Amino acid sequence: MIKPLLLAAALLAGCGTSAGSDQTTVTVFAAASLTESFTALEKRFETDNPGVDLRLNFAGSSALAQQLANGAAADVFAAADEKTVAGVAEHLESPAVFATNRLTIAVPRGNPAKITGLADLTRTDVTVVVCAPQVPCGAATRKVAPNLRPASEEQDVKAVLTKVAAGEADAGLVYVTDTRSGKVDAIDFPESAAVVNKYPIALTKQAPNALLARRFVDLVLSQTGQNELVRAGFGKP
């Protein structure tokens, strides 16, 4: 009779292992704004699936989509908007929306420029940074503030947050979830309610480890996953 532990090892081996390791690797491409919540879920997933190494690749959604289009190997793609996922639909299996997010104004701790709302970002004495327009947070910024003239446009929302936290800008438009770190203060503005980003997740059609990848997607969509996302500040789908 095959012992349970040996059977489990055989099943994992059948899924493929990372080079030079006994672990099975599952690669997840995820929007930068998911860094904190997916890192927390990574620990839960690896605990529930011994011998599995969940590798998280965080970046701007548009950059990740381009990597997929160029043939990069990934098991799961989680993006910060539906438009980005639609652009690489031929590479994905049935995307499902798992969270929502909206913009807020990030300012350095103490709000030295005394920002009170969106109108203050047009002041000549205020330096503003935003996401590049091809990134979901940048596309959302263009919708809520089409006349804004930023000092720079960054490749993902974490880069905007870093500049604001370092005092290199008086304000930046980021997601509400990004201000939960405590590195910056947040100034909510009512106009953000008009542009809500929906986050889809999907298996890739060429997923090297589809069975385990499906387990991660299921975790994100489960009550456990949803609780973690809400804790991070995301809205429900």
pLDDT digits (tens, 9 = 90+) for 89-117: 999 999 999 999 999 999 999 999 999 99
Same domain for 92 and 9, yes or no, is yes
Flag whether 157 is marked binding: yes
Same domain for 26 and 74, yes or no, is yes
141-194: per-residue pLDDT in tens? Answer: 999 999 999 999 999 999 999 999 999 999 999 999 999 988 999 999 999 999
Q: Residue 1 has what pLDDT? A: 40
Question: Rounded mean pLDDT of 76-93?
Answer: 97
Q: Residue 17 has what pLDDT? A: 46
Q: Residue 21 has what pLDDT? A: 54
Same domain for 125 and 64, yes or no, is no
Q: Residue 23 has what pLDDT? A: 83
Same domain for 68 and 126, yes or no, is no
Say which CATH number the domain at 105 has.
3.40.190.10
236, part of any domain: no
> At a CB cut-off of 8 Å and minimum separation 6, what does 92 contact?
77, 85, 202, 203, 204, 205
Q: Residue 233 has what pLDDT? A: 96
Same domain for 21 and 90, yes or no, is yes
Q: Residue 61 has what pLDDT? A: 97
117, part of any domain: yes
For residue 187, which of 65, 104, 121 has the smallest C-alpha distance?
104
Flag whether 192 is marked binding: no
* φ, ψ dihedrals at 85, nearest 5°: -65, -40
168, part of any domain: yes
Flag whether 199 is marked binding: no
27-43: per-residue pLDDT in tens? Answer: 999 999 999 999 999 99
For residue 30, which of 49, 57, 67, 7 has the smallest C-alpha distance?
57
Flag whether 175 is marked binding: yes
5-29: per-residue pLDDT in tens? Answer: 333 333 334 444 444 457 899 999 9
Range of the domain at 121: 101-196
pTM score > 0.75 for this model? yes
**CB 163, CB 185: distance < 8 Å:** no
Same domain for 51 and 167, yes or no, is no
Give me the number of domains the chain comprises: 2
